[in-house]
């Protein structure tokens, strides 16, 4: 089961640069990156609504009243991510963008784990620091900020 979960995570990760490239193309052909991100979220909302209705039709308004305000901010973070990726991918390329995003995700995750934000605390240890340094080195090798952009 764990191997299937890892495989699914890798597959979804492989789709993210394709999503950014598709959104960037839509933005170029229409009204820009923010419009393309809006279109992406709109279509995504319809897909998720259909999925939710097919899998869990029960709904209780009372449950919504118990949700803390910050629990609704995930959508805003997702919107900023999709819009920024749509805007940045033509400037950075797919590989560089994803490397930088993964590095940022790793740094953020280490901090959130270390301080136990919204889940059990998992302190940073030497192996996690070494892993982060290796990811940073890999990102630098892909991004190559010391080279002038081609083109």
Sorting pLDDT into bands at 50, 70 and 90, what band is 149?
low
Q: Which are the contacts of 148, defined by CB distance < 8 A and separation ≥ 6? A: none
Q: How many CA atoms lie within 13 A of 140 on its CB side?
A: 7
- For the stretch 29-80, pLDDT in tens is 999 999 999 999 999 999 999 999 999 878 888 889 999 999 999 999 999 9
Q: Are the beta carbons of 20 and 36 closer than 8 angstroms?
A: no
Taking the C-alpha atoms of 79, 84, 85 and 90 in order, what is their torsion angle to the nearest 10 degrees? 150
- The predicted pLDDT at position 59 comes to 83
- For the stretch 102-126, pLDDT in tens is 999 999 999 999 999 999 999 999 9
Is residue 151 predicted with pLDDT exceeding 90?
A: no
Sorting pLDDT into bands at 50, 70 and 90, what band is 1?
confident
């Amino acid at each position: 089961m764990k191997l299937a979960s890892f495989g699914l995570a890798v597959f979804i990760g492989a789709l993210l640069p394709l999503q950014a490239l598709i959104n960037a193309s839509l933005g170029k052909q229409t009204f820009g990156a923010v419009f393309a991100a809006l279109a992406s979220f709109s279509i995504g909302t319809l897909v998720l609504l259909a999925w939710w209705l097919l899998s869990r039709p029960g709904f209780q308004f009372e449950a919504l009243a118990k949700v803390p305000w910050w629990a609704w901010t995930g959508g805003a973070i997702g919107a900023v991510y999709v819009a920024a990726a749509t805007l940045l991918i033509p400037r950075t390329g797919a590989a560089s963008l994803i490397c930088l995003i993964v590095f940022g995700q790793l740094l953020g995750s280490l901090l959130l784990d270390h301080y136990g934000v919204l889940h059990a605390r998992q302190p940073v240890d030497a192996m996690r620091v070494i892993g982060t340094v290796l990811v940073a080195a890999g990102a630098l090798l892909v991004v190559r900020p010391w080279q002038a952009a081609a083109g």
